[in-house]
């Protein structure tokens, strides 16, 4: 089949490459001429494992192409996917749908024959109705069906998620559109993923509900981690004990510095906004949003505790900047508010990330970048593991310790074991862990800065932080 993919960002590029690998003919269309030119040269705007090779092979096979000409791509297409950005709108938390609606207007002008228009972007409930209204107002003669087909791609594992999905959600009641969607995904039939056909609004809400639930699991285990630190328990054992219950499951029960990325933060905000607009507020998700934002800033308190109560004048080394491993995505990464808090407290920050430093340079200021983890650790008063890249899981710990000015490690991803780190001579703080040689400190609040409160500041720490320190 012939597909026009409007938008060549993360979702559009991954989806287009995978559809073309199924054997479909895909044209990825983008208004950014520089991006299109780079894609034609084989230069991808994002890092995703396996994507560069997949794109190159399907371009070579002439199943995948890139361009700026929406007109010819839409006229020839059996299905047109809208995969443009839906960022959070400043001030009110709503999803900005201007790019979606503009794409709908441009698509309407070029429709020829029966065409399925598919919203692949994550959009609030009712967006498909408006897309259809826009198209039919512009082209009342068009034979068109508007379908919701939300993506469920994890950054860092997107190709596998697309080719081996848990489910495929299709929102439409049009039989001809259902037949087209089944044909598009037919190559997956050997894997037998369920193709769930439902109402368009139901499909749109399914995407938001799924992301909000996963965000809630993350926030729940983070709150349990805080309690573990106070009562002398181990959150990783708690998570295992919970996760082996098949009603709960083990995924997304990993304590850390809070969730970030391109989906969870904006989707939870958008869902809360939609719920309030319909007089059905979702208090649980509203709390998740608030607690997660506070948590990302509170992590600086752990670093301050490890440094004796203040980071003023301390050199702090960060390993990992992206919101998760195997991506270069810095959107809403926990490292951003953490660095802001450390800098506000007077720390000198150096960082290393295998893929995210180019993106970080566009967002962060006043920090140094290192070429590798060991260069990052040189002269540091504290080293903080922020992102659990594989290369950080087997560091030469003796080399790290000897390079540092003080052997202090704050592990926000629980990559290492407290007893082992203590045995190697480190002062080691993790998240929600307690072991025999470590006990909670007193209840007094500890903040990253010794000069708070600061007037007119939007960056705040999260109240009391009871961290773990070695006993005398």
Instruction: Tell me the C-alpha distance between 378 and 23, whole Å.
Output: 51
Phi, psi for 45 (deg, rounded to 5): -80, -10
Model confidence over 137-166: pLDDT tens digits? 999 999 999 999 999 999 999 999 999 999
Instruction: Tell me the C-alpha distance between 161 and 153, whole Å.
Output: 6
For position 8, what pLDDT does the model report? 95
Instruction: Tell me the C-alpha distance between 89 and 86, whole Å.
Output: 9
* Burial profile 443-455: b = 16 or more Cβ within 10 angstroms, e = fewer: eeebbbbeeeeee
Of 415, 427, 430, whose CA–CA distance to 234 is shortest?
Answer: 430
2-198 maps to CATH 3.10.20.30? no
Of 360, 363, 362, 340, whose CA–CA distance to 351 is shortest?
Answer: 360
Model confidence over 16-44: pLDDT tens digits? 999 999 999 999 999 999 999 999 999 99
For position 90, what pLDDT does the model report? 75
123 in Cβ contact with 301 (< 8 Å): no
Instruction: Tell me the C-alpha distance between 415 and 397, whole Å.
Output: 12
Phi, psi for 451 (deg, rounded to 5): -125, 25
Between β-strands 427-429 and 438-440, what pairing exists: parallel, antiparallel or unpaired? Answer: unpaired
Of 320, 345, 313, whose CA–CA distance to 334 is shortest?
Answer: 320
Instruction: Tell me the C-alpha distance between 22 and 251, whole Å.
Output: 29
The parts of the chain modelled with pLDDT lower than 50 are 436-472
Alpha-carbon distance values, 225 to 305, 377, 398 (Å) = 17, 27, 28
Domain ranges for the chain: 2-198, 234-470
List of residues 6+ apart from 224 with CB closer than 8 A: 235, 238, 239, 255, 432
The fold for domain 234-470 equals Rossmann fold (3.40.50)
User: Hey, which residues are catalytic here?
Assistant: 263
CB atoms within 10 A of CB 325: 21
Instruction: Say whether 234-470 and 2-198 share the same fold.
Output: yes
For position 435, what pLDDT does the model report? 52
Alpha helices in 173-262 (DSSP H): 175-184, 200-231, 235-243
For position 234, what pLDDT does the model report? 96
């Amino acid at each position: 089949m012939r597909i026009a993919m409007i938008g060549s960002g993360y979702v559009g590029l991954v989806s287009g490459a995978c559809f073309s690998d199924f054997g479909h003919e895909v044209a990825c269309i983008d208004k950014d001429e520089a991006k299109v030119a780079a894609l034609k040269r084989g230069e991808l705007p994002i890092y995703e494992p396996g994507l560069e090779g997949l794109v190159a092979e399907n371009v070579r096979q002439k199943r995948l192409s890139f361009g700026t000409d929406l007109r010819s791509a839409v006229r020839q297409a059996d299905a047109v996917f809208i995969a443009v950005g839906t960022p959070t709108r400043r001030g009110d938390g709503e999803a900005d749908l201007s790019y979606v609606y503009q794409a709908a207007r441009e698509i309407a002008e070029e429709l020829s024959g029966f065409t399925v228009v598919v919203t692949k972007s994550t959009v609030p409930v009712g967006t498909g109705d408006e897309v259809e209204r826009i198209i039919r107002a512009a082209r009342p003669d068009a034979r068109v069906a508007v379908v919701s087909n939300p993506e469920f791609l994890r950054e860092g594992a997107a190709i596998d998620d697309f080719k081996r999905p848990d489910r495929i959600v299709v929102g439409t009641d049009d039989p001809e559109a259902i037949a087209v969607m089944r044909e598009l995904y037919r190559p997956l039939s050997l894997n037998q993923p369920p193709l769930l056909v439902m109402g368009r609004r139901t499909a749109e809400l399914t995407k938001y509900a799924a992301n909000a639930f996963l965000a809630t699991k993350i926030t729940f285990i983070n709150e349990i981690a805080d309690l573990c630190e106070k009562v002398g328990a181990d959150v990783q054992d708690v998570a295992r004990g919970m996760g082996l219950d098949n009603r709960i499951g083990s995924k997304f029960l990993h304590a850390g510095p809070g969730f970030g990325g391109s989906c969870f933060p904006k989707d939870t905000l958008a869902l809360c906004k939609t719920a309030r607009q319909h007089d059905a507020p979702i208090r649980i998700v509203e709390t998740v949003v608030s607690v997660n934002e506070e948590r990302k800033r509170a992590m600086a308190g752990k670093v301050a505790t490890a440094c004796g109560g203040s980071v003023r004048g301390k050199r702090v080394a960060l390993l990992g900047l992206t919101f998760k491993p195997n991506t270069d995505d810095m959107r809403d990464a926990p490292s951003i508010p953490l660095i802001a808090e450390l800098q506000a407290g007077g720390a000198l920050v150096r960082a290393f990330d295998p893929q995210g430093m180019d993106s970080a340079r566009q967002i962060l200021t006043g920090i140094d970048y290192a070429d590798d983890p060991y260069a990052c650790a040189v002269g540091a008063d504290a080293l903080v593991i922020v992102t659990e890249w594989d290369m950080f899981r087997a560091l030469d710990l003796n080399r790290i310790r000897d390079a540092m000015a003080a052997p202090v490690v704050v592990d926000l991803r629980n990559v290492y074991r407290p007893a082992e780190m203590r045995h190697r001579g480190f002062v080691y703080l993790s998240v929600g862990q307690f072991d025999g040689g470590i006990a909670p400190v007193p209840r007094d609040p500890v903040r990253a800065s010794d000069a708070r409160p600061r007037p007119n500041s939007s960056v705040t720490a999260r109240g009391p932080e009871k961290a773990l320190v070695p006993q005398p």
